[in-house]
Amino acid sequence: MIIAGAGSGKTRVITYRVAHLVRSGVDSFNILVLTFTNKAAKEMRERITHVVGGEAKNIWMGTFHSVFAKILRVEADKLGYPNNFTIYDTDDSKSVLRAILKEMALDEKLYSANFVYNRISAAKNNLIGWQEYQQNEQIQADDFSSGRGHLGKIYETYAVRCFKAGAMDFDDLLFKTNELLKRYPDVLNKYQQKFKYIMVDEYQDTNFSQYLIVKKLAAVTENICVVGDDAQSIYAFRGANIQNILNFEKDYPDVKVFKLEQNYRSTQNIVNIANSIIANNKEQLKKNVFSENEQGDKIKVMRAFSDNEEGKQVAEAIMYERTSKGLKWNDFAILYRTNAQSRAMEEALRKLNTPYKIYGGLSFYQRKEIKDLIAYFRLTFNPNDEVSMKRVINYPRRGIGDTTVDKIIVSADQHNITQWEVISNPQMYLDGRSSASVYGFATMIQSFQVITKNQSAYDAALHIAQHSGVLKDLYEDKSVEGLNRYENIQELLNGIKEFSEREDIEEKGLDIFMQDVALLTNDDNDKDPNADTVSLMTIHSSKGLEFPNVHVVGLEENLFPSQMSLNSRSDLEEERRLFYVAVTRAKTKLTISYATSRFKFGTLINCEPSRFLDEIDARYLELDYSARPQGGSSSSAFSDERQAWSTRGSDAFSKPKAATPSAPPKTTSILAKAHVPTPGFAPSDTAGLQTGMEVEHERFGFGKVISLEGNKPDIKATIFFKEIGQKQLLLKFAKLRIVN
């Protein structure tokens, strides 16, 4: 187990370990390297090729999903799937679910496609099939108590429909691989003997399903090497389980642990504050991350009186830094906790004519015109793909309306056959006019099937684009949008041509290109990461990236850490790891900012500085409080905090004296001490709260209720607290103790 701190050269270590195996005589076909993004796999393969040459082509290296999809392509028939099964992306899955919910006439408020998709996804990642889901008493009790008792039936219908369509969704690539290895010991033994050397990158991000597959494959030789950093485990919301890395030594008692503790990326000051942040987590693998780079600037903390003012300060700071030091725009990144925070940043950057790019936006492959043409490709290889059929059967228009599509679906259900069987034999199941149109569509798809067998990926794709009518339809749209869509199709065809001419892969059919597209991760979608623009992204999206200058914005309670994370220590510790990831993206300069007020749902609310600020060792900080609230009163909620910061500025942030080995310097808090709750503090039932009552808040202390407004459950209380002044709180979240 290699515990790799931020910026410690993890990718280089993996690369050279694999290269060492090959040079030592290990058969490259016996090496398996699992990553989380195609980008990471590509980078590693390029580096390994540079060291060992052509043998790198033989290594099974890729994302969990791409490697397991490759295995499933070979073994799919054992599970009843065709080898050319379709891989549904998230949009495809939700489209199937929307159709099911419509057929079942369920309330969209209780059963939104997003909610149902996430529920099924979570079940699959925990290896709970639809049968187990329906038989689990606790799950059923939870569903019925929330008014969602139909979830089990929806899950069953969805699973059966995907199977019937010869399709697997993204989660099935893990779920079905587990099923395959469990049901067929001979298949498990085959791949255990094949993969004698297993390496897993970013092991802290594995979920239960991934963990189990890796454990099964490594069970015979136990020749497994995992690389990761528990301090950067930030994906619990999508099923990642930090216990996988924390318990690795229990799973493999003979394990050898190596720690990469030198950070080659960041200045000493940045590494020091990162260490002071993560030291507050109780659940961690201890390591001593250090840097031998220059000391670097202190970390600047900026306070703004509103989110718009924060955006203005950040934009101006970037402009000044770039101009004064001759930097490029792409030397800067702005990281935030939620996508909604980008608005204020974008507006401020636009006012200064600063070029920027938001990462994690609409993927090229999610654009309508791209999905339309890809649907034709998918239907060519798997005519039972009902999602693709519905998408293109009448695009471009060919006289097959919704009524005809409904007849196809009904006929297929009545005769217990696939929809493609109805489409390819329309004279048997449909009437006159609609039969002729459907027959023409079926004949066209069948002709595409012949073409793909005899032509290259590019030639086949171009033929389908032309003869389906997609290219003609977009070419005839002379609007700006139409031109852009036509150019996007050309770009897709260009990509397929590049794929056809690649020398590092043997199989170059259109079906293989389709598999690569289906398995793209969010991190692989941005075409030009070197474009000279300021990068804006969520902290989750920034993982694995680095920038010379980083602004981490919105360090406020209930925003970062998020309000949802304050219910348990494990959730709060994940938020702290997220903050750790944010600050360690910076190489030379890091700036942190927060606002004392922010618009939320159209209402300006007061904000409290994040508790994470209080955890940073103040010796490494520089306060920049040039912005002052305009028109504020001395009873502002942050008047005392403002005073605390300003009075500490002269001595708390002076150059620290050298510490003796026997007496290490203590961490200095940069915020005033919070209110200490009354012993046995417990929130009261505030249903009977009235104006004039005295209350206690865990952090704000004692105060008096000035006014109440709104209706249940969104009643707001304006309270004057003795220590910090006036605040407006939502009662359902406030957790107040009524004093009298």
The verdict on whether residue 380 carries a ligand-binding annotation is no
Q: Which residue has the tokens 């654009």?
A: 367
107/499 Cα distance (integer angstroms): 45
Give the active site residue among 55, 75, 172, 202. 202
Active site residue 354: no
Residue of 391, 576, 585, 737 marked active site: 585
Q: Is 719 within 8 Å of 727 (Cβ atoms)? A: yes
Q: Which amino acid is at 147?
A: G
Burial 271-282 (b: 16+ CB within 10 A, else e): bbbbbbbbebbe
CA 463, CA 475: separation in Å to the nearest integer? 16
Length of the chain: 740
Nearest of 524, 551, 557, 527 to residue 539 by alpha carbon: 551
Q: How many CB atoms lie within 10 A of CB 102?
A: 11
- From the list 55, 143, 169, 201, the catalytic residue is 201
CB-CB neighbours of 12 under 10 Å? 13
274 is an annotated ligand-binding site residue: no
Active site residue 347: no
* Catalytic site includes residue 90: no
Nearest alpha carbon to residue 159 among 196, 120, 215: 120
Rounded to whole angstroms, the Cα distance separating 121 from 127 reads 10
Is 10 one of the annotated active-site residues of the chain?
yes
**d(C-alpha 382, C-alpha 363), whole Å:** 24
Q: Is 201 a catalytic residue?
A: yes
Contact 407, 419 (CB under 8 A): no
What are the Cα distances from residue 283, in Å, to 15, 242, 255, 278, 573?
Answer: 29, 9, 20, 10, 8
CA distance 578 to 555: 12
C-alpha gyration radius of the chain: 29
- Listed residue (293, 738, 307) closest to 560, CA to CA: 307
**E strand or H helix that includes residue 333:** strand 332-336
Is residue 9 marked as binding?
Answer: yes
> Is 585 designated active site?
yes
Has 586 been labeled as part of a binding site?
no
Distance from C-alpha of 360 to C-alpha of 339, rounded to nearest angstrom? 9
Nearest-5° Cα angle at 447, 445 to 450: 115
Q: Tokens for 465?
A: 């684009």
> Shortest CA distance to 584 belongs to which of 310, 245, 232?
232
Instruction: Note the helical H segments in 559-653.
Output: 569-583, 611-615, 639-648
Report the chain's terminal Cα–Cα distance, integer Å: 57
| Residue 8 annotated as binding site | yes
688 is in an annotated binding site: no
Q: Could you give the residue numbers annotated as active site?
A: 10-11, 201-202, 232, 585
Binding residues for ATP: 4-11
Binding residues: 4-11
